[in-house]
Every structure is written in C-alpha cells, then in structure tokens.
Amino acid sequence: MPPGPWRDGDFRRLWVGQTASQLGEHASLVVLPLIAVLTLDTDAGRLGVLRAVGQAPILLLSLFVGAWVDRWRTRTVMALADLGRALALGGAAVAGLLGGLGLPALFMVAFAVGALSVFFDVAYQTSLVRLVKRDQLVRGNSALEGSRSAAQIGGPALGGMLVSLLSAPIAAAAGALFFALSFLSIRRIRRHESVPRRPERSPRVRRRILEGLRFVVGNASLRAVGLASGAFQFSFAAMMTVHLLFLTRELHLSGTAVGLTLAATGPGAILGSLLAARLPGRFGHGTVLISAAALGDGVMLCVPALHGASAVTIPALVAVNFVFGTFGQLVNVTVMAVRQAVTPDGMQGRAVASITFVGMGLTPLGSLLGGFLAQEWGLRAGLLVTATGMMLSPLLMALSPLARLGRTLPAPQGT
C-alpha cells in the first residue's frame, strides 16, 4: 500500500487551509441570508435576489477561471481568494458595527464572496492532482472531502447561532477569521507545483475555454454529469430559497435551530464519504450514482409535510438532512472520481470549470424562481414544486451512459 498523504507537511497545510476555508464558506452561506431574513426582515423576492447575486459569479466567471487555473499555481489562487473573502466579510462586520449593514451592502459582499469562491473551488479541485502522486489521490480526496463534511456540520450551526445569539457583525467577522486562517496555512505550502507545461505560443483564453467545453461536451460521461448537475443545482437553488423562509416563517424556527438542522447534513456527508470508498467498487459507479441521487433528492419531498414547531419537527428535519447529506456526498465523491479518472492532467481545471459552468450556471435563475414561487404560490407549495424538480437529476443520469459505468472507471481520454 502506498504511503498516506498525512506524512507530507505540505498536504497537511493544504488540508488545514481547505478545512478552514470550507468552514468559513458554509458559515457565510447561512449567515448572509439569515442576516437578511432575521435582521433586515427581507421578503422572499429580495432574498431570492440576494442568493442570485452571490451565485451569479459562477455563470460569469467559471469558464475564465478554469482556463487561468490550468496555467497558475493553485496554492496562489486559493490563498489570494481566501484573503479577498476575509476582507469582504471583515468589511461587512465593520459596516455592521457602524450601523451601515443594509441590503445593498449585503449584495456587494455576497457578490464578492461568490466571485472569490469560484476561484478557490476550481483551484481546490485541481490542487491535489498537482500536489500528490496519483496513487495517493484516493486517500487525499477522502481526507479533503472528510474535512468538507466536517465543515458542513460546524459551519451552518456556527453561523446560525452567531446571528441568533450575538449579532450579525460578529457572525460576519467569524467567517472572515476562518478565511484568514486558510490564507495563512495555504501560503506556507513550499513544494514546487507541477503546472502543466505551456506551449511556446500559448493559445488565447477564449481558445482554452472552448477546448475545455469541447472536451466535456465530447465526453459522454462528463456531458451527462453536467446536465444532471445543472438540473439538480437549478432546482436546489430554488428549493433552498423557499426552504430558509419555510423554516423561519412557516415552522417558526430560530436562527440557532435553523443552523442545527442544516448542520445535520454534515454527519451524513461523513457517512457518505465512507460509503463512497466502498460501494462503487462493489456495485458499480453507475448503480451507486443513480440510487444515491434518487434517495438523497427524494427525501426532501418530506419537508413540505411538516407543520409548526412541534416536538417532531426538528428531529424530522435533522433526519431528512442527514439522509440528504449521506447520499448527496456519495454522489459528489463518485462524480469527482469519474471526472478525475477520464480527464487528462492538463485539462483538469478547465474540466472542473466547464462542468461548474454547465451545472451551476443556472443557480441564480433558480434562486429567483424560488423567491417568485414563494411569493406567488406560498411557501409550502413552492417548496413542494422545487423539491420535485430535484428528481430530474437522477432521471437524467439513469438515461445517460453514467448508468452503464461499472466497478472500474475508464482511463483518461485525449484532448
């Protein structure tokens, strides 16, 4: 068995930085909407706009970032992105202390954090391939995904409790501190990074973007991943916009309770990461992908059936989010393995960015749709419709070549 990545000091620095960054990101994803709902009394339409503003950089920047990351040192990209996010949330904290943290300021912070998150996420998914040997990728990915799962536990709970128990500026400042810690850890990575060699006449960014898109569209498995991801992310963005309002205004949960119920996805994600190391090799990657997506997405249909802050409401929400986290993470890790297996090293960043663009580019429209449905149809009906829309993702996978993937994944294809 090859030596584990934990003996490598640079991998440990990457892990610490990535863990802190993910914790700050998951906290801020709850903090900013909760500030809008609980502090500024934002309605459904404006909440949808706020979430859309934070997600718009995915559509605007993903393809360009993918082309750039393939030519840059990923640790530099990650460090600068988290320094920027620390400054953005720190600015929100200062504005709150001075009494100037209104909705326009939240829009600006959400856009800045969203833009820098695109840089970090593309670089983070590319970094491990350059930092460790290929025989350490599985264990390295498992460690990084495990830390992301841990961040899903602590981030939403921490963000919700800080907004509810203390103040919005302190909640924003906590997120800034996590991003600052990530910056300090990642910038200490010393190993020379193996950036793919550039040709003497480097193609323009537009050409590199088109090469990445053509590669993803031309690969049947990656094309199916992009389409299924797009269907899921669009519906999930719409569902989460309604979901946050449903929990606070229909079920009358506090910010702390909202954070704790959302945090239940974290333990489920840890279990999902463990299952991802075993199930695809036993039952086949295609079977696992479709089954896990159907179970994870389908459980969200239970939420609209809940009524009021009864004794069973919070346990039921915890159970739903645990199941969603388990099977959602199983899908995420399995999809990552498929993408890494079929993509050459020099195309990794562009493949990530192209799939992100296709898969998440419509999330701003999804958030706007969620706000519209909540206003026009009501919270319960809007939640039911958007949760039903998430079931399109496993259906698309079942009708695609992903369903035929077996226990062994195919080798990388040429560019």
Higher-scoring residue by pLDDT: 387, 136: 387
pLDDT digits (tens, 9 = 90+) for 334-348: 888 888 778 887 777
Higher-scoring residue by pLDDT: 384, 65: 384
CATH ID of 8-189+208-404, from 1.20.1250.20, 1.10.3710.10, 3.40.50.10190, 3.90.79.10? 1.20.1250.20
pLDDT for the residue 1: 46
Higher-scoring residue by pLDDT: 58, 309: 58
Distance CA 350, CA 329 (A): 23
Higher-scoring residue by pLDDT: 28, 316: 316
Distance CA 107, CA 55 (A): 11
Distance CA 200, CA 78 (A): 27
pLDDT for the residue 239: 92
Q: Give the start-to-end residue ranges of the domains of the chain.
A: 8-189+208-404
pLDDT for the residue 309: 66
pLDDT for the residue 87: 95
- Alpha helix locations (H) across 246-391? 255-263, 265-276, 279-283, 285-298, 313-342, 348-360, 363-377, 379-389
Taking the chain, what is the end-to-end CA distance rounded to the nearest angstrom?
31
Do 229 and 360 touch, CB atoms closer than 8 A? Answer: yes
Sign, CA dihedral 122-330-152-315, equals positive
Q: What percent of the chain has pLDDT over 90?
A: 21
The pLDDT of residue 274 is above 50: yes
Higher-scoring residue by pLDDT: 38, 23: 23
pLDDT digits (tens, 9 = 90+) for 163-174: 767 777 788 888
Sequence-distant (6+) residues with CB within 8 A of 234 are 362, 363, 365, 366, 389
Q: What percent of the chain has pLDDT over 70?
A: 86
- 163 by DSSP, 3-state: which? helix
pLDDT band with cut points at 50, 70 and 90 for residue 179: very high
Task: State the chain's mean pLDDT as an integer.
Answer: 82
DSSP class of residue 164 equals I
Closest CA to 408 of 286, 257, 306, 271: 286
Q: Which segment of 47-61, 137-151, 167-181 scores lowest on mean pLDDT?
A: 137-151
For range 380-393, the mean pLDDT? 94
Do 359 and 230 touch, CB atoms closer than 8 A? Answer: yes
Q: Which segment of 186-200, 212-226, 239-253 scores lowest on mean pLDDT?
A: 186-200
Burial of 372 (0-12, 13-18, 19+ CB in 10 A): middle
pLDDT digits (tens, 9 = 90+) for 84-127: 999 999 988 888 778 777 888 889 999 999 899 889 988 877 77
pLDDT for the residue 150: 65
Do 38 and 189 touch, CB atoms closer than 8 A? Answer: no
Q: Which segment of 7-16, 18-27, 148-157, 356-365 scores lowest on mean pLDDT?
A: 148-157
pLDDT for the residue 390: 94
pLDDT for the residue 244: 81
